[in-house]
């Protein structure tokens, strides 16, 4: 029986609870090549396309926000751009499968016409197709909304996790809506989502990064929770929770990794050192899972942990 929450916990409290468990998993850096001196980070987990695993990653110069999303395949221990694959002018890619279709998306960013380093707005955009090379645009989210994710449910409907900003004094909340088919993924449907009001403190924020349909019909949500200190120093932690699509109840957030569990490395900026951005989770039959992450907005890593969704299936 799931223990549903009626009160948000701070990321500081969640971090204390997690570290008291003395997690001992250690992550490892993924090696990307073929992109010059640019960084590859905020990757998705590997997904199958035309018979081989593929990773989508954000590719970006260290001193810029303008990025591309490219698709990579593994060759001799390194991830290299896939020959002939499309390249998108997006950030923070994600993928899922609805029916027999690949659904791919990312964040479309708009820059000031006079200052190419200044971001004026953004939105999530969606593509669909039966393979990477057949992807066609089909939907856009509302302006300033990231972290919109889809999941096919047991009854064939589609769950939609959303993330509206500045709602009733909160920096951001997670929302949930359902649609019958991909054609119904509209700004209106997304904006009308039911809000999960007890996941974050008003001064903190987060979002869903990937949704997993569990064996009991519950949705396991992989996401992130974040807070900001003085001088805009950011702290991002990978987290999970369970969501019941029938009654819209949900469990408390729990953290599953921290920056200290990954090798030392560069950061895009000093305020982004303690940033781990959940990209995707691969569950394994032995009770473990592989978490794919962006690290410090500069690198991509993977870490093997205990499957965090198992307790939601018991």
pLDDT(139) > 90: yes
Band of the pLDDT at 158, cuts 50, 70, 90?
very high
Q: What pLDDT is attached to residue 1? A: 59
Digit-coded pLDDT (tens) for 281-314: 999 999 999 999 999 999 999 999 999 999 999 7
CA 40 to centroid of chain Cα atoms:
15
Q: Is 25 within 8 Å of 43 (Cβ atoms)?
A: no
pLDDT(198) > 70: yes
Q: Minimal CA–CA distance to 30: which of 256, 283, 272, 279? A: 279
Q: What pLDDT is attached to residue 65? A: 84
Mean pLDDT taken over the chain: 95
- What is the rounded distance in angstroms from the CA atom of residue 47 to the CA atom of residue 280? 10
pTM of the model as a whole: 0.95
pLDDT(118) > 90: no
Mean pLDDT of 89-114: 93
In the sheet with 194-196, reading across from the earlier edge strand, the strands are 149-152, 158-162, 174-179, 194-196
Which of 2.60.40.1180, 3.40.50.1010, 3.40.1410.10, 2.115.10.20 would CATH assign to domain 11-313? Answer: 2.115.10.20
Q: What pLDDT is attached to residue 169? A: 86
**How far is CA 299 from each of CA 28, 111, 210, 223, rounded to the nearest angstrom?**
10, 24, 19, 18
Mean pLDDT of 115-134: 90
Digit-coded pLDDT (tens) for 241-262: 999 999 999 999 999 999 999 9
CA 309 to centroid of chain Cα atoms:
16
Q: Is the dihedral of CA 244, 245, 249, 255 positive or negative?
A: positive
């Amino acid at each position: 029986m799931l223990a549903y929450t009626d009160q948000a916990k701070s990321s500081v409290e969640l971090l204390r609870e997690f570290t008291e468990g003395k997690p001992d998993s250690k992550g490892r850096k993924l090696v990307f090549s073929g992109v010059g001196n640019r960084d590859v980070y905020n990757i998705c987990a590997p997904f199958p396309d035309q018979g081989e695993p593929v990773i989508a990653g954000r590719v970006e110069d260290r001193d810029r926000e303008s990025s591309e999303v490219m698709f990579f395949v593994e060759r001799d221990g390194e991830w290299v751009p896939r020959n002939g694959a499309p390249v998108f002018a997006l950030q923070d890619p994600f993928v899922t499968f609805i029916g027999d279709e690949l659904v791919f998306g990312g964040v479309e960013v708009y820059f000031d016409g006079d200052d190419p380093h200044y971001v004026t707005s953004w939105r999530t955009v969606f593509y669909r197709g039966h393979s990477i090379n057949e992807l066609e645009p089909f939907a856009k989210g509302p302006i300033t909304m990231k972290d919109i994710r889809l999941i096919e449910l047991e009854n064939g409907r589609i769950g939609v996790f959303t993330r509206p900003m500045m709602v009733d004094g909160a920096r951001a909340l997670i929302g949930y809506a359902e649609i019958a088919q991909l054609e119904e993924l509209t700004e209106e449907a997304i904006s009308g989502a039911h809000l999960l009001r007890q996941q974050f403190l008003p001064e903190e924020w987060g979002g869903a990064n990937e949704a997993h349909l569990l064996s009991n019909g519950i949705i396991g949500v992989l996401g992130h929770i974040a807070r900001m200190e003085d001088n805009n120093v950011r702290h991002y932690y990978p987290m999970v929770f369970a969501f019941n699509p029938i009654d819209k109840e949900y469990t408390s957030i729990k953290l599953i990794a921290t920056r200290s569990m990954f090798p030392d490395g560069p950061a895009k900026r000093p305020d982004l050192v303690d940033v781990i951005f959940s990209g995707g989770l691969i569950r394994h039959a032995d009770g473990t899972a592989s978490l794919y992450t962006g690290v410090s907005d500069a690198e991509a890593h993977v870490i093997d942990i205990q499957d965090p969704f198992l307790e939601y299936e018991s």
